Structure 1
Amino acid sequence: MSLELSARDRLALAAAAIALVAGAAGYGIATLRSADDTPQTAEGGRKILYWYDPMVPSQHFDKPGKSPFMDMQLVPKYADEGETETGIRIDPARTQNLGLRVVVAERGALGSGLTATGTIDFNQRDVAVVQARASGFVQRVYGRAPGDVIGAGAPLADLLVPEWAGAQAEFLAVRRTGDAALTRAARQRLALLGMPPGTIAAVERGGRPHNVITVSTPTGGTIKTLGVRAGMSVAAGQTLAEVNGLGTVWLNAAVPEAMAGQLRPGQTASATLAAFPGERFAGRVAAVLPDVQAESRTLTVRIELPNRGARLKPGMFATVDFGGSARSALLLPSEALIRTGKRTLVMLALPGGRYQPAEVQTGSEAGGQTEILAGLAEGEKVIASGQFLIDSEASLSGVEARPISAPPTSAPAKTAVYETTGRIEKIESASITLNHAAVLALKWPAMTMTFRLANPAIARGFKIGDRVHFSFDQSPEGPTVRSIVREASR
């Protein structure tokens, strides 16, 4: 047999080799493409864009595995997420792992939560000025000093007034004549010379001149200034002392200018001091001063406090709480708010596992609750814990926040709520009888009727005769009170 191959045989072998190589290459390419495509498609056929750690959503990975940041598996980001009608959709299992907590925007009573600090000061309206009524000489002083606390009528100094001696002698001489008209004129002259009525009466009773007068304080308090010393001469009208009363004191509180709209004269306030732990001192706002401190951007609120026993000392530091009647407001836990500096957002929890940021306008804050003025409807659900992670996810997905002017995305059907005022006539375990004003929305006249209590705790702390502001609805069981707030006394 010949070992040499014919040309025809060599051509056949070359064709077979080329086919074998091509088949192997095609298999390899197909295998590689299959390996690349497998991690990018989920079992349901949803396209996967990347994997990420929910705790660090800005970091993307091209394959599944364990997170380098947390002890947890990476989760896929699907292409169809963020493309729903509103908001983003998140797997319920993932939301449970993130520890999301959902709250409902509800109406409730919002009290005044304004607290400020201040210092005790003298009541500058309770100041007495002691002056010399005539020129004279100081014969005696009574050992007083600035800062002493004295009572009303306490003596300060004895003054010798020479010009009073001649006038008193003339008065006594005229009095002995028995001429009533001249006697009245002489007595009037003594009063015009500045002689106190008590001194004139003493001259009439004793029948001899009294040219030494004891200067005393008209009111009690503390001596702020004392300008009389033994041996000195004084002129008519010269100030000898200033006495500041201690029956009431001022508490000057520094309040941020942003809170100025919540304050008004006559408003109740209470103060606590470190010197008297556990004790509260009640007072009222006497004035809101018109100027604002440029350095601290605060205004001064003057509160007048009774000072029984002179326990409150000027200069003491105090914390003051401004009272005010509670009012009905749409409330949300303060922790649910996302404050960006330019606007305030909340993360709405929509039906079907969808979430959407919404811009809101906030009002007052008290007791961990914030008033929502616009951007949210009563009954809408909001995330109160873990909302920052969902907000990051929404930002990555390009989901726009719902503007304040937009209507609620999914406002629940609610029964109409009506509000009015009235007086409590009777309180029972599950009902309350109110003599209420007219309800124009229902065309009800003013009348006395019994309402169901949505919760017996609503009426706790109230008594018969209280004037209240209350809200109610027309439930199938009958008119039902939902909230009661005591009206401020006038």
Structure 2
Amino acid sequence: MVDDMNDPHRHSSLDIAVSGEEGLDLPARGQAGRRARIALLVIALLLAAGAARTIVSNLMNAHRLADTTKQNAKQYVSVVQPSPAGDNGRLVLPGTLRGYVEAPIYSRANGYVLHWYADIGAHVKQGQLLAELDTPEIDQELSQAQAQRQQAESTLALARTSFERAQQLRLRDAVSQQELDDRQGAYSQDIANVAAADANVRRLAQTKSFQRIVAPIDGVVTQRNIDIGDLVNAGNDGAGRALFTIAQADSLRLYVDVPQTYANQVAVGQHVSVAQPELPGVAFDGRITRTSQAISVATRTLQIEITLPNHDGRLLPGTYVQAALQMDPAGTMTVPGNTLLFRAQGPQVAVAGTDGKVHLKKIEIARDLGQTLEISHGLLRTDRVILNPGDSIAEGDSVVVTAGAGSPAAHSRPEPQPPQPAQSSPSRSAT
């Protein structure tokens, strides 16, 4: 075995074998390196593609978020266009009919109701007896006043006799001038006492006459607030209501308040058409008889009085009616009440412009009708006023007008399409 290790031929064969194996490993190592580089390149490409995909996805998400934000920033609103105030230049105002003369009757004497003779709906004449009162206290006071008057007359007669006797004695210088003056003063004082007693008797007699309640005017009894046995105070202080109320209904009065915007167009003698809601299609002709000639500071209105003839009694006092005055609107517009904005700058409305932006306009309200407002200044006929604007709406906000009840788009309807002929389905051949 040692010989084999020391054999030179054996060493040369081993060297040849090793060198042959090394020569065979070089191509394999080259292929392995190329495969490694290809794998790294593929990994790099995959990483680059992933990064690019992430960047593209982020950009798309950013664009989508921007579009969504822009879309959510838009406000969808319904609009309405202002309409001219009045109906063909007519201004309709509410009012309540009153009797031409309405007389609430109070008692001027304290007592109890003894009888009443007129009930509601009765036509009475001036001076007609309506009721009688029992006034025992006034009767006693009148008797006492008459007795005091008789006392004053007796004292006056004695004073007159004394004064006349003193005058005769003074002519003979039997009494002094001072005594004569004293008797004259007493006589003058007794004359005044009798006059005062007479006045008191007349006062009580007149008060007693008020126990008869009579009608002050011709008319119809519209209220009776007493019954037999009721206690009545002078001036009706205790009850706080009139004993009777009488109204003259041959002619009626109607008081209405005209807004300041139309006050200059009202004139005495102007005809007014009056309508009662319960009588559709019936109009009553009235005439303006007088105005207050002043604008109320509290309501900024002018009160006018309209007189209506009512000889047939068709209209009743106290009826709610509507008076239509012929007026020139003079640019006054009407908008719904739910378009108003209350801001520190005063009343405003939000208008949707043609550029899709909100524009706030300051307005002047001529009259508040509850569900509608009459605007005297600040609006045009072509303005698109936003209905139910939010509290956060501001100048320059983007809005999208929807087809609401008041928008112009709501009135546009698609053209009807002609009917299409029915098409028969193709027949299938039997297979």
Does the TM-score normalized on the shorter chain lie above 0.5?
Answer: no
Larger Rg computed on CA atoms: 2
Tell me the TM-score normalized by structure 2.
Answer: 0.41
Write 1 or 2 for the structure with the bigger share of strand. 1
Give the structure, 1 or 2, with the largest relative contact order (CA under 8 Å, sep 6 or more).
Answer: 2
